[in-house]
């Protein structure tokens, strides 16, 4: 059973890692240096689409970018399908889709750039063919472009609104991509070393994670719920009606999915604290330095609502560099009488180590906390 849990933890943490590295949306202030080589209207929408009207797709290719005609045709076909799907589902007209390929600035991410109202594809060593091979990612960015084209007021405030509110933009863009290709993997053929950008579903609970990634987790939790509700009548049409009525308000989510709203409300009250700062001398970023020959004690504490809903909650420690192993160079053993108390000692030869405390319930990782362990230089 322990091994099974470890495997589950491993898989979930891998998903987690993918998720944490995957915030591609809304590139900020890119400088486009591309020369316009091509100006192409789409071939038109499905001939059987009742409200078929040509939505122009304008593609600008930087002359540095080496993109075959075949890739461009595939891109146009993918965008045309996505736009057509949007029109059919929402009954809306659509604005032209602007695309820039190969801006020549390697600092940019592939994604939708609000300030130039364009989907941008740029070179990145970790990304296959600038992202042009990933239909899910293209569809995700097309949704940003369509939404911001139709409802600019919802996008113009993006730089000032709370990070949590941005979660809804990401969630709905993912849900759009999911509706077009209904599998478990968001973003095949994007990263060279990962099979998906992220999974559409997650078991993580946003209140059991801290740090800058919370908004991404909330977005993922929302998609997770909508994907589950897929057969219960929530489709793009319902999402669009919600957007028209309530904008991007997390507080109004009960109008879209009562179960999602309930889930966010319930899990909001969960708390799992640790005393790492006081007992082991970690700083606020959870960088902890251990002296030789000293045993430190770290105590986690779950609040009542969390324990009531997850009575089997336990903590499994893994290395942040290799989730299949325990933290290297540090001995972490559970206290005899309390499953949330750990004794930590540093071992000979230990180096700086990322140690992750994974919170596991029902065989699933529902939260985690990352620490950076190292040796205390002076006694
Ligand atoms: Zn996005």
Phi, psi of 74 (to 5 degrees): -65, -40
112 CA → ligand 1 middle, Å: 7
Instruction: Work out whether strand 185-186 and strand 198-199 pair parallel, antiparallel, or are unpaired.
Output: antiparallel
Domain finish residue from 144, 170, 196: 196
65 within a domain of the structure (yes/no): yes
State the residue range of the domain holding 341: 272-375
pLDDT recorded at residue 160: 63
- For residues 218 and 167, the answer to whether their CB atoms sit within 8 Å is yes
58 and 144 co-located in one domain: yes
251 within a domain of the structure (yes/no): no
Domain finish residue from 181, 196, 211: 196
pLDDT recorded at residue 180: 97
168 and 303 co-located in one domain: no
171 CA → ligand 1 middle, Å: 8
244 within a domain of the structure (yes/no): no
Domain tally for the chain? 2
What CATH number has the domain bearing residue 368?
A: 2.60.40.10
277 within a domain of the structure (yes/no): yes
39 and 188 co-located in one domain: yes
168 CA → ligand 1 middle, Å: 10
25 CA → ligand 1 middle, Å: 3
- From first to last of its 379 residues, the chain has per-residue pLDDT tens of 444 444 334 434 433 333 333 333 333 222 222 222 222 333 333 333 434 456 788 888 886 767 889 999 999 999 999 999 999 999 999 989 999 998 654 446 899 988 888 899 998 899 999 999 999 999 999 999 999 999 998 888 666 656 666 889 999 999 999 999 999 999 999 999 999 999 999 999 988 987 667 777 889 999 999 998 766 789 999 999 999 999 988 889 999 999 999 999 999 899 999 999 988 889 999 999 999 999 999 999 999 999 999 999 999 999 998 889 999 999 999 988 888 999 999 998 888 999 999 999 999 999 999 999 999 887 6
234 within a domain of the structure (yes/no): no
68 and 171 co-located in one domain: yes
* C-alpha triplet 259, 316, 363: angle, nearest 5°: 40
For the entire predicted model, the pTM comes to: 0.78
142 CA → ligand 1 middle, Å: 9
- Pick from 374, 373, 269, 367: nearest CA to 315: 367
177 CA → ligand 1 middle, Å: 11
36 CA → ligand 1 middle, Å: 25
37 within a domain of the structure (yes/no): yes
């Amino acid at each position: 059973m322990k091994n099974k849990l470890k495997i589950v933890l491993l898989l979930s943490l891998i998903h987690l890692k993918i998720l944490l590295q995957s915030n591609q949306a809304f590139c900020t202030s890119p400088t486009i240096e591309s020369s316009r080589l091509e100006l192409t209207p789409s071939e038109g929408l499905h001939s059987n689409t009742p409200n078929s009207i040509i939505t122009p797709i304008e593609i600008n290719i930087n002359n540095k970018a080496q993109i075959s005609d075949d890739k461009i045709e595939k891109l146009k076909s993918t965008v045309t399908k996505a736009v057509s799907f949007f029109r059919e589902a929402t009954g809306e007209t659509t604005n032209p889709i602007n695309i820039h390929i190969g801006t020549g600035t390697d600092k940019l991410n592939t994604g939708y750039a609000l300030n130039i109202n364009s989907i941008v594809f740029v070179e990145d060593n970790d990304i296959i063919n600038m992202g042009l091979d990933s239909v899910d990612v293209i569809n995700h960015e097309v949704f940003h472009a369509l939404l911001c084209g139709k409802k600019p007021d919802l996008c113009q405030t993006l730089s000032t609104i709370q990070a949590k509110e941005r979660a809804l933009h990401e969630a709905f863009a993912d849900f759009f991509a999911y509706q077009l290709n209904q599998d478990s993997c968001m973003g095949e053929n994007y990263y060279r070393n990962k099979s998906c950008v992220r999974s559409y579903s997650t078991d993580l609970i946003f209140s059991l994670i801290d740090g800058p990634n919370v908004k991404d987790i909330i977005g993922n939790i929302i998609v997770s719920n909508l994907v589950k509700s897929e057969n219960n009548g929530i489709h793009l049409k319902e999402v669009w009606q919600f957007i028209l009525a309530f904008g991007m308000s997390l507080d109004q989510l009960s109008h879209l999915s009562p179960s999602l709203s309930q889930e966010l409300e319930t899990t909001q009250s969960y708390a799992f604290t640790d005393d790492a700062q006081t007992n082991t001398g970690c700083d606020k970023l959870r960088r902890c330095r251990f002296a030789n020959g000293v045993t430190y004690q770290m105590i986690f504490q779950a609040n009542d609502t969390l324990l009531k809903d997850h009575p089997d909650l336990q903590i499994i420690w893994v290395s942040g560099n290799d989730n299949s192993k325990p933290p290297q160079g540090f001995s972490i053993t559970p206290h005899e009488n309390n499953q949330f108390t750990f004794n930590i000692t540093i071992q000979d030869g230990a180096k700086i180590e990322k140690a992750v405390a994974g919170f596991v319930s029902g065989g699933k990782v529902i939260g985690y906390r990352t620490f950076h362990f190292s040796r205390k230089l002076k006694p």
